[in-house]
Structure 1
Amino acid sequence: MEMDIEKRTLRKVSWRIVPFIMLLYFIAYIDRVNIGFAALTMKADLGFTASMLGFGAGIFFWGYFLFEVPSNIVLHKVGARIWIARVMVTWAIISAAMAFVTGPKSFYVIRFLLGAAEAGFFPGIILYLGYWFPARYRAGVVAFLMAAAPLSTALGSPLSAALLEMNGVMGLHGWQWLFILEAIPALILGVVVFFYMTDRPEKAKWLKDDERTWLVGVMNAEAASRATTAKHGIVSGLANPRVIALSLIYFGTSAGLYTLGIWAPQIIKQLGVSSMTVGLLNAIPPIVSVIAMVIWSRHSDRTGERTWHVVLACVAAAVGLIVAAVASSVVGLIAALTLVNIGISCAKPPLWTMPTMFLSGAAAATGIATINSIGNLGGFAGPAVIGWLKESTGSYSGGLYFVAGLLVMSAVLTLLLARSQKASVSTSNAAAH
């Protein structure tokens, strides 16, 4: 009977929540990285250098960094429904404003404001999932959420390439149409969030009474079991050494993710193919990575193992970047980028199950936001260094090696974190005896 209600409730919760949040993240990721495609023509139209493009694309994450923690604290207090609706409407308006950039300064300002507007969205969703899904199901659910990023690249790449063909329509450049039209779904969905999302299981009128009672009971029991060991306060979420370690691990994976999102179209384009072909080729690696990620994260949930699932994935992505740096054929480059996509996509779901193992309440809100905000600065470092080195050396290789090094750092830190956690558990067990 218990198993029956568990299956019934979680199936209903999954169908209600998971496809919807995947759609939200799908749109968020397109608006975050469509600069990579816009740049195929925008760069020449506005006279941007590679370092200007890399810096402007990456400065988004400084806005994100500064406003992430305050945004997640507000979400924890006012509820996901109101706050995520606010976030989406704001970023839609600013994303559309990218169409009116006239030079480097306006480019930098609007990208920074876009980061500030979107701050709190992703960690807010991670926190939200922690309200609805017991810990043993979380990596699988996060995998579906994370699948939206590669899927948005797979579907968004050909779409973005097609929108570039609207060059001259109503006197606008193709890249201007790209920014305007791709901002509209976020605006519409921001309104939908306000009416569709339910803040907590206690308020879920779409669950039967026994389902709601079961879910609230399970989630409260989990919170109570963490009460003796988990940190709860805002300062605990900010100052916890494990939070800082996870932030640095996430830094490497973010550098890899946004290197792909922002520079992969440019790297493919240099092999002499058309923009439309770039769109089609850039869609191949993420399709493969989605399948790999779902299998990998389910294996992580089934075995309960997190550390090696993160480590091996980071190492695979680093190897892929090194191969991409020396690839001279389209087939070799796409194969290397596929390996990078698989590695980065597979690392993230098991990584995101770690914070809620030792944080709860306000500490979970601030801890998750801290990991995401510091970690996402990798989204600044990777693309910016690649742009700078491309301009200095004329090649993407040095930048790709740099990002591969950051991913190796993530793998090493994950192992060190696991070792320190084992040591602290052994110490506390010894003290108890």
Structure 2
Amino acid sequence: MRCAKLLLCISLITLTGCWDRKELNDRAILLGWGMDYKAGMYHATAQLATTSQFSAEQGGGAGKTSSFVTSVGKGKNIRSAADDMDLRLSRSLFAGHRRSILIGEDLAKHGIAKVIDEYSRYIIVRLRTDMFIVKGGTANDILKQQYPFERIPVLGIFKIHSHLVIGAETALRDFLIAASSEGSTPVLPVLQVLKNVEKENKKNKANESTIIFAGIAAFDEQLKLIGYLDAKTNAMRHWIMGNIKDLSLTPDVPEEHGNMSVDSRQLKSKVTVDLKGDNVTINIRLSGNGNILENNTKLDLAKSDNIMYLQKALNKDVEKEAQNAVQKAQKIKADVFGFGEFVHRKYPKRWKTMQKNWQQTFARAKIEVVSDIIIRKTGQLGEPLQLKKKKS
């Protein structure tokens, strides 16, 4: 019994509690982080949540009182820029809830190898983090921008990416994988500030500009920006890579002076490559099912011949768009589709000699696309309303 009491006393003495704890009110909660490069210096911008503004009574939007503040710092590298920012803050930075990292265009052109090195070493940076390039602007521009649907604008950025693109939350991880793999070009999603937006309410200054998703940015082996591909091209890229199962399509039907909207489902992709000497042929086969949501032609979809006609027009348009997507990547010599991986697997010995100049080889590769989408549903059967009006 005495031994038990002695052990209890010793344990009470050694248990000192949370001696290094920090209260929430002593932390600056970091949700968005941006890096820019100006005149040989790295400029950091942090979007911080003002926790005092979060209450049950407060509604959505920025409100009269902003729910965030931005802080800046600069230095000769990322760490020194963060240290400089600390001199301006009364609280210590807490990055455990950081959702997005933004890179300005000038820094992307200068090269982000040092940025990636710091983020890959720093243990608090999560790989499940979105990382964006700011097209035609700076990270500071985006992080200071109000967003009407979210109290914290950086959360709006995250939700835009999650809503539109597969791979949200993993942009940093995917970039690191592509940068270290053979036969693939690393890419990052792109944001852009759209200015002079038409205002529905002239008193609402938040509508003067907004943030939009603008596709992807491609990088070379030195992790320097080499070009952009738009959002439409990126959607086709995901289909070719087999990353998506549904996509909204709006093909033109020139012969009928109209167009249609198709909800495509169960999308599949098959890629094969062939080598003949130094010539590479990339064969892409796209397939899936489609439901017609909108028919802006004069064709009566109650007739099976007209459905087959639109199906043929749909596949022709998909083949054209896929060709255009690959050709845009070829112009900037960036294999954002990972075709090099297919060559590597099928021709491992040849790949050893092709690997070094693969991007140049990809730029002159022959692309063949075949689309096989089957229209399954046409909605409510019957003649288009414009035909009925003419008859009456």
Whether the TM-score (by the shorter chain) exceeds 0.5 is no
TM-score, normalised by the number of residues in structure 2: 0.26
Larger RCO: Structure 1 or Structure 2 (Cα < 8 Å, ≥ 6 residues apart)?
A: 1
Compare CA radii of gyration and give the structure with the larger one.
2
More helix by share: 1
TM-score, normalised by the number of residues in structure 1: 0.24
More strand by share: 2
